[in-house]
């Protein structure tokens, strides 16, 4: 297995994420675009009021797969840097659950990389969310499209 890309920075954290802190990178004259995506807990889904989301992960496997995704994005879009931080545990409405920040030569690559990374975070990283509604009901989210496969789990980052 290839080593992960040296400019991949990923983490799972259990407290609030300071999203903006990930934009303050060292000066890199090849960078013309930085895109920061912040995924937050939405207060309603399909008319149901959400009180909070609770995230669970196989943490070591999640970090492993996040590193793989970041490495693939770095190579595919020639990024200068790729950061993915996912929060675990309870995330109240309005707070960040995931942050993705990439630096690229041009905005097209940066936007494309972030879009791709978020799709893959949702379908190929062992992290799960449980919705806690305002009436105290809890419901794990297990979409049929979220089944991990050897293909989406083990793709090389070449």
Partner 1 sequence: MQDHVKTVLKNDSQADLGCGTLVVNLFAGLAEVAGTRQIHLDWKSGTAEVLRIQLGQICPSIVKLLSLSAIAIEHEVVDDTMLVCEGAEVNVFPPVSGG
Using rule CB under 8 A, residue 71 touches partner 1: no
What is the rounded CA–CA span in Å between residue 65 and residue 131?
A: 23
Place of tokens 């979220």: 146
Residues in the chain, overall count: 158
Whole-Å CA distances, 145 to 49, 99, 109, 131, 149: 24, 22, 26, 18, 11
DSSP β-ladder status, 33-40 and 89-92: unpaired
Nearer to partner 1, 41 or 80 (CB): 41
- Number of residues engaging partner 1 in binding (CB under 8 A): 38
Using rule CB under 8 A, residue 149 touches partner 1: yes
Residue of the chain from 61, 95, 105, 133 that contacts partner 1 (CB under 8 A): 61
Residue of the chain from 62, 82, 104, 113 that contacts partner 1 (CB under 8 A): 62
Using rule CB under 8 A, residue 124 touches partner 1: yes
What is the rounded CA–CA span in Å between residue 91 and residue 102?
A: 23
Backbone phi and psi for residue 67, each to the nearest 5 degrees, phi listed first: -60, -40
Kindly write out the interface string for residues 25-54 of this chain, putting x where it contacts partner 1 by CB under 8 A and - elsewhere: --------------x---------------
| Binding interface with partner 1 (CB under 8 A) | 39, 55-58, 60-62, 64-65, 86, 97-98, 118, 121-130, 140-150, 152-154
């Amino acid at each position: 297995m290839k080593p992960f890309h040296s400019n991949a920075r990923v983490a799972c954290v259990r407290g609030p994420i300071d999203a903006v802190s990930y934009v303050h990178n060292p000066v890199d004259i090849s960078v013309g675009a930085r895109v920061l995506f912040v995924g937050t807990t939405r207060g309603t889904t399909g008319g149901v009021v959400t009180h909070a989301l609770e995230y669970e992960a196989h943490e070591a496997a999640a970090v492993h797969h996040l590193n793989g995704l970041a490495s693939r994005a770095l190579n595919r879009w020639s990024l200068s840097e790729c950061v993915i931080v996912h929060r675990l545990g309870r995330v109240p409405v309005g707070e960040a659950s995931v942050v993705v920040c990439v630096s690229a030569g041009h905005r097209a690559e940066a936007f494309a990389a972030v879009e791709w990374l978020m799709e893959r975070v949702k379908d190929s990283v062992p992290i799960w969310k449980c919705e806690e509604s305002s009436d105290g009901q809890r419901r794990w989210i297990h979409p049929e499209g979220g089944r991990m496969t050897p293909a989406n789990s083990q793709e090389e980052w070449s």
